[in-house]
Amino acid sequence: MNEQVHRTERQRAHDLVLFGATGFVGALTAEYLAAHAPAGCRWALAGRDLDKLERLRERLAALDPACATLPLIRTDARDARAVRELAASTRVLATTVGPYVWYGAELVAACAEAGTDYVDLTGEPEFIDRMYVAHDARARETGARLVHACGFDSIPADLGTYFTVNRLPAGVPLRVDGYMRSNALLSGGTLASGLTAMSRGPQTLAAARERRLYEPRLPGRRVRGSGGAPRFSRETGAWALPLPTLDPRVVARSAAALERYGPDFRYRHYAAVEHLPVAVGATAAVGATVALAQVPAARRWLMSRWEPGRGPDAQRRARSWFTVRFVGTGGGRRIFTEVSGGDPGYGETAKMLAESALCLAYDALPEASGQLTTAVAMGDALLDRLQKAGIRFRVAAETAA
């Protein structure tokens, strides 16, 4: 199918559907859309509990009376027929329902088949790799853009690196290191997704191996992304601890798809901790959590401490912040950049997901389809949206390397 025809001529009942709208982050995303969706945007709320959807619509109507007529769509993520109907009804489907390895596969399959653009908040590498193997080829045929990790996982790292690379010399080997700081708290849904991913080490490795069989090679180019090794960073004056997150993989996939990242690109991703005792304690805590996640009873106990659907209150979120500082080198230049914002896991993640969905729905974008990263699918258009929405991307300094 000609992609331009696919983009301009299809007619759907909705421009955007938010699935999982009644969850903690889902409701924040709905509130953001109520305040920022453009006039004439045909958007709808979807989930499996109609009563909760109706209560959410009442809350949104108090913010904007126009939301009183928002369509409500009752759909269960595991009902393949209902999910296919949902995907076929909209141009863009955004979902907050995780753990995605349990609840996400039918949605991705339906969007790939229907030519519907898809965005989610997953930080689960197993899920993303399995979706690539199963649905990337079909999405390329139908013109669907399947864009995972459209929240704090992994937009700051992905677009922050994109922002940094575009300010370094072209056509030369490039090195970028990212250092993350935050004071934010987790929600129950994030904890459940994280513990689920930690408990599925063998499945994650198997999915990654299978993906490598399908991914195209990069003749003449080299790309690497990792968490690095613990060290003291003189550039930031902090201890750099490798972060076991999805972010380096996402950045590496952007680099593999975009020649602007140069013939030899490497990205490393860290948490920045000022004091050595805190760094040692944090490393031990991560190790202990990973170990406990392997034991079903311990995993259930950890999840019970913060149930899905709950999260930090508005006052705590208002005090939360994040920064990711990047050090990029190449072609004899060194650049220091920074991405920063408010509460990363909830307020800013809701903003990132909503703006990603709106970007796919309304902006002029690169001609690309299949499973894509935010940098590849939306690049400058999403960067511009997020800056206008209050997430800061800035150059702090430039020097000779």
Given this model, what pLDDT does residue 198 score? 65
Average pLDDT for 188-193: 54
Q: Where are the domains of the chain?
A: 3-152+348-383, 155-343+391-400
Given this model, what pLDDT does residue 284 score? 44
Given this model, what pLDDT does residue 307 score? 56
Average pLDDT for 79-93: 97
Residues 138, 113: contact at Cβ < 8 Å? yes
Question: Does residue 376 come out as left (phi exceeding 0), alpha (psi in the -120 to 50 range) or beta?
Answer: alpha
Given this model, what pLDDT does residue 346 score? 85
pLDDT digits (tens, 9 = 90+) for 140-190: 999 999 999 999 999 999 999 999 999 999 999 999 999 999 886 655 555
Q: Which residues contact 16 (CB under 8 A, 6 or more apart)?
A: 33, 37, 41, 42, 43, 44, 90, 91, 92, 93, 94, 357, 358, 361
Average pLDDT for 265-278: 77
Q: What's the DSSP call for residue 261?
A: G
Given this model, what pLDDT does residue 90 score? 98
pLDDT band at 217 (very low <50, low <70, confident <90, very high): confident
pLDDT digits (tens, 9 = 90+) for 376-386: 999 999 999 99
Token pair in block for residue 233: 């960073």
Quick check: 16 pLDDT over 60? Answer: yes
pLDDT band at 282 (very low <50, low <70, confident <90, very high): very low
Token pair in block for residue 328: 């990029």
Q: What's the DSSP call for residue 205?
A: H
Given this model, what pLDDT does residue 74 score? 96
Q: Which residues contact 131 (CB under 8 A, 6 or more apart)?
A: 104, 105, 108, 146, 148, 371
pLDDT digits (tens, 9 = 90+) for 196-216: 666 677 888 999 999 999 998
pLDDT digits (tens, 9 = 90+) for 245-266: 899 999 999 999 999 999 999 9
Average pLDDT for 28-32: 97
What is the SS3 string spanning 63-101?
HCHHHHHCCEEECCCCCHHHHHHHHHCEEEEEECCCCHH
Quick check: 291 pLDDT over 70? Answer: no
Mean pLDDT over all residues of the chain? Answer: 88
Given this model, what pLDDT does residue 242 score? 86
Neighbours of 249 (CB within 10 A): 21
Output the CA–CA distances (angstroms, integers) from residue 358 to 34, 66, 82, 348, in the order listed.
12, 18, 24, 15
Given this model, what pLDDT does residue 155 score? 97
Quick check: 305 pLDDT over 60? Answer: no
> CA 95, CA 372: separation in Å to the nearest integer?
16
Architecture of domain 3-152+348-383: 3-Layer(aba) Sandwich (3.40)
Residue 286, judged by CB atoms within 10 A of its CB (0-12, 13-18, 19+), counts as middle
Q: Range with the lowest mean pLDDT among 148-157, 218-227, 250-259, 287-296?
A: 287-296
Given this model, what pLDDT does residue 1 score? 37
Quick check: 92 pLDDT over 90? Answer: yes
Task: Specify the 3-state DSSP secondary structure of 226.
Answer: strand
- The DSSP code sequence of 335-398 is EEEEEEES-TTTHHHHHHHHHHHHHHHHS---S--EEE-HHHHTHHHHHHHHHHTT-EEEEEEE
Nearest to 365 by CA among 380, 353, 352: 380
Quick check: 279 pLDDT over 80? Answer: no
Token pair in block for residue 97: 């329902």
- The gap between the terminal CA atoms of the chain, to the nearest Å, is 47
The residue ranking higher by pLDDT, 335 or 299, is 335
Given this model, what pLDDT does residue 7 score? 44
Alpha helix (H) ranges present in 115-182? 125-142, 155-165
User: How many CA atoms, within 13 angstroms, populate the side-chain half-sphere of residue 172?
Assistant: 16
Phi, psi torsion values for 147, nearest 5 degrees: -120, 105
Query: At 375, which amino acid appears?
Result: A
Q: Range with the lowest mean pLDDT among 146-155, 281-290, 366-375?
A: 281-290
Percentage of the chain surpassing pLDDT 70?
Answer: 84
Residues 340, 323: contact at Cβ < 8 Å? yes
